[in-house]
Amino acid sequence: MRPRTALPAGPLLLLAALAALAFVARPLTPIDETRYVGVAWEMWLRGDWLLLFKNGAPYSHKPPLLFWLYNLGWALTGVNEWWPRLVSPLFSLGCLLLTLSLARRLWPARAGVATAAAWILASSLLWMLFSTAAMFDVMLAFFVLLGLRGLLLAADGATPRGFAWLAIAVGFGVLAKGPVILLHLLPAALLAPWWRSGLGSRRWFGGLLLAVLGGAAIALAWALPAAARGGEEYARMIFWGQTAGRVADSFAHKRDFWWYLPLLPLLLFPWLAWPALWRSAAGLRREGLDGGLRFCLAWLLPAFATFSLISGKQVHYLVPLLPGFALLAARLLARNVDNGPALLDGLWLPALLAAAAGVAMLALSPGGPGGKLESWQGLPRWPGAALLLASALAVLAGRKAAWRLISLALLGAALFALVQLWVSDALWLRYDVGPVAEEIGRLQARGTALANKGEYHAQYQFVGRLRQPLDEVDSPEEIAAWFARHPDGMLIAYEKPRPGEPPPLFSRPYIGETVMLLDAAGARARGLLR
């Protein structure tokens, strides 16, 4: 019987603290978070759980699972903002538990690997960021881990049960973020004879095929009826445009194949900056790879290479790979425990980098030696000073080998938390759509027609509890025609104020510009219509 490892209290408390911090440090952030919660809000208004809508039009860019979960929570708690912001932290908790389960199965004789992997995952910069974001990636990571656990179950002899879990993971992973889950699961499954000897090829690959077909059946239970109702273009997008289209020639986020590589030290901070990890990795040339390390490499390397070759790239596409990195790093660090003084290297390099970030924060704050950021007024100085203190404490605590791993994890979390607090006021000023959304909601409730200049990302729908879509206009001719139909209407425009212009009826800083509510006279004064 395999030993059971409870989730260490430290990573759990760290996740809870970061989730709580996100509520006070920043609003739901446009464009992505506000758009996804807006799609869920339209699902709530329509009571239609089959077809997704954004601003009144069918929305084919994402599958429905996240929006279903938001609506399930609202059915139990009432419509609120806190439930959508809790979904990712809850999936992050599930990922920590599944990471522990994988570590137990991969290295049953090394109980410390599981605890180390939980700390490494919980404190990696990219994981902390998206564990507190109302997005899809941590949820996808959960189903990736569930599918990988199914593979290990099947490889350990529980073949029907393991492949049943794999089918569930594939199906719900597709409903979470589309067929991309197969890029995470299939390489590890196909390379199983490399990481687990003695597998019967016919039984293994036959079970794998059945699991993928079972997962496809789960996903098609939604996709086929949705395509039938959504029409030909909707069907084309959900079956082709959001999968093969991204692979062949991205319609968004197109970047070079090497784009991820220079970002890895930041995304995996503080762990990739720790010399102990690199010293352990260098020693593998003498010792070779055990089955668990091969499993992690069969998971990580093909997926990372594929995401590098795919034209569309965003940093959050790598989120489901982070548990694999945590497992790999934890196993490498366990070598130091077995083969010499525990964790030979101190924390000087990651602490130095964190201290450099603290100095930069001080320099960019008002009154600092470097002045201030012109577009982000009022950045406080104390988070930079606190980060310098945290760096020094990490170095001192790291003098004891037993404290190094936890000290480094807390240093990474301190960097993430203090940077958020440093920019918190600016985030609330520039990214909080609440004031303008509430004003739009009041106007809409009075029957005022509203149009958005340029593409509208539904960022006001949920926050303002809007019940009608907004019109979209762009060119001066379109704006003039719209005001001709709605002479008492309001235009939502995004401009930088210029001297001598009459003040708008309502304005608010918005990202790098100012969002304004303009009547026809105000729009004409700014040259937005002819």
**pLDDT reported for residue 342:** 41
Smallest Cα–Cα separation from 259: which of 187, 318, 179, 178? 318
**Cα 409 to Cα 121: distance, rounded to the nearest angstrom:** 9
Does residue 380 contact residue 413 with C-beta atoms inside 8 Å? no
Q: CA 388, CA 502: separation in Å to the nearest integer? A: 47
Coil, helix or strand at residue 452: strand
Write down the domain spans for the chain: 87-336, 348-430, 434-525
Q: What is the DSSP letter of 371?
A: B
Pairing mode, if any, of strands 490-495 and 513-518? antiparallel
C-alpha 191 chain-centroid distance: 28
What tokens were used for 524?
A: 């004409």
Looking at residue 346, its pLDDT comes to 75
Output the pLDDT for position 377: 63
Residue type at 530 in one-letter notation:
R
User: In one letter, which amino acid is 469?
Assistant: P
- Contact between 457 and 420 under an 8 Å Cβ cutoff? The reply is no
Map residue 447 onto helix, strand or coil.
coil
Per-residue pLDDT of the chain (530 residues; tens, 9 = 90+): 454 556 788 999 999 999 999 999 999 999 899 999 999 999 999 999 999 999 999 998 899 999 999 999 999 999 999 999 999 999 999 999 999 999 999 999 888 899 999 999 999 999 999 999 999 999 999 999 999 999 999 999 899 999 999 999 999 999 999 999 999 999 999 999 999 988 878 889 999 999 999 999 999 999 999 999 988 888 888 887 665 544 444 445 577 888 999 999 999 999 999 998 988 888 777 778 899 999 999 999 999 999 999 877 899 999 999 999 999 999 998 865 444 344 445 788 999 999 999 999 998 887 544 444 455 667 899 999 999 999 999 999 888 888 899 999 999 999 999 999 999 988 998 999 999 999 999 999 999 999 999 999 999 999 999 999 999 999 999 999 999 999 999 999 998 877 778 888 899 989 888 999 999 999 988 888 87
Which residue bears the tokens 């404290």?
403
- The tokens describing 136, both together, are 């899809």
Cis-peptide, bond into residue 270, ω within 30° of zero: yes
